[in-house]
Amino acid sequence: MSIPEYIELEGGDRLPRIGFGTWQASDEVLEKAVDAALEAGYRHFDTARAYENEAALGRALNRWIGGDPARRKQLFVVTKLPPGGNRPELVQEYFDASLRDLNLDYVDLYLIHTPFAFEHVPGDLHPKNPDGSMKVDHTTNLLELWKTVLKLKESGRVRHVGVSNLNAEQLARVCGVARPACLQVEVHALCQQPDLLAAATKLGVPLVAYSPLGSKALADALAAKTGREYPDLLQLPVVARIAQAHGRTPAQVLLRHTLQRGLAAIPKSTNPARIKQNISLWDFELSEKEMSELAALDRGEAGRICDFAFFIGIDKHPEFPFKK
């Protein structure tokens, strides 16, 4: 089965179905990783205001662009409005700051990072109360926010807008205003989100899988804090067996599974060999039986890693998307 390397967007733009994740890397490490990713053929780069690394990503991308508009056109750069900016009157300010730090004339895709919101505290993207809980803004109007984000396209400084971490009901609601270019959510072998995928497909919204390899750094940090066990996706016996049968790595099997389900994926790595591996996915195919074996690994809601419980008190926000 040959599968497309791009998702077609409005206006003839194309979203490369393997992108490069950038969360949780120091600036210096990230710049080197982005150099390696560009060398390996990645053209889709995913960041967020909340990752506090837009300037480092921008430096590496601009080195590669070298002032050549034709090179800039080959890239697909994504960033996100942070939860502290989830009010219509703040959108422009946060968007301008992202573009300034990236040092780009435009971004290809701008996402609402989360449907829930923090209070806007200048200089603090994750504002907390003295007891460690988040300063939550409970007054979010998701549809007014979405309408304001849509208006950013009029400036020509963002080509597409979309959403992240919305549930199916929220996605349908924003689609009532205008269809987002994509929905970026956690999807991997243990959290396959078949219902959300079906709902998004019906609405004509492509899904982009974040943490497609199980976000080991986050899982390890959460395990240390909560005592909960997070299985290592890359060590699952089914995945290892299928990988061996194809002469591929477990990561390649997990990513190919995601692609064959029709999603895009944005794996993160800072290791040049793994960076290369994660985009070398187009010359092998999982059989129907292997796809079914991988489908059987799904644990539904219990497989979710990034449940935002680390933002203490956020589950009380009226737009908190996940139900236990």
Q: Known binding site for substrate: residues? A: 113
* CB 12, min distance to ligand NAP, A: 25
| Binding window for ligand NAP (CB under 6 A); candidates: 56-64, 155-163, 206-214, 285-293 | 206-214
Q: Which of 217, 223, 245, 295 binds ligand NAP (CB under 6 A)?
A: 217
By C-alpha distance, which of 123, 167, 119, 85 is closest to 313? 119
Label each residue of 187-203 as H, E or C: CECCECCHHHHHHHHHH
Backbone angles phi, psi at 4, to 5 degrees: -65, 145
* CB 100, min distance to ligand NAP, A: 20
Q: How far apart are CA 246 and CA 103, in angstroms?
A: 42
| Binding window for ligand NAP (CB under 6 A); candidates: 93-101, 127-135, 216-224, 296-304 | 216-224
Closest CB to ligand NAP among residues 23, 70: 23
Which residues ranging from 287 to 306 are in contact with ligand NAP (CB under 6 A)?
306
| Binding window for ligand NAP (CB under 6 A); candidates: 69-77, 96-104, 150-158, 264-272 | 264-272
Q: How far apart are CA 320 and CA 308, in angstroms?
A: 9
> Per-residue x/- marks for ligand NAP, 44-83, CB under 6 A?
--x-------------------------------------
Q: Which of 51, 94, 210, 230 is catalytic?
A: 51
Q: Give the CA distances from residue 243 to residues 30, 70, 215, 304, in Å, rounded to whole numbers and listed in that order.
A: 28, 38, 19, 23
Tally of residues, the chain: 324
CB 16 within 8 A of CB 5: yes
Question: Which residues form the interface with ligand NAP (CB under 6 A)?
Answer: 21-23, 46, 113, 164-165, 184, 210-218, 234, 249, 251, 266-271, 274, 277-278, 306
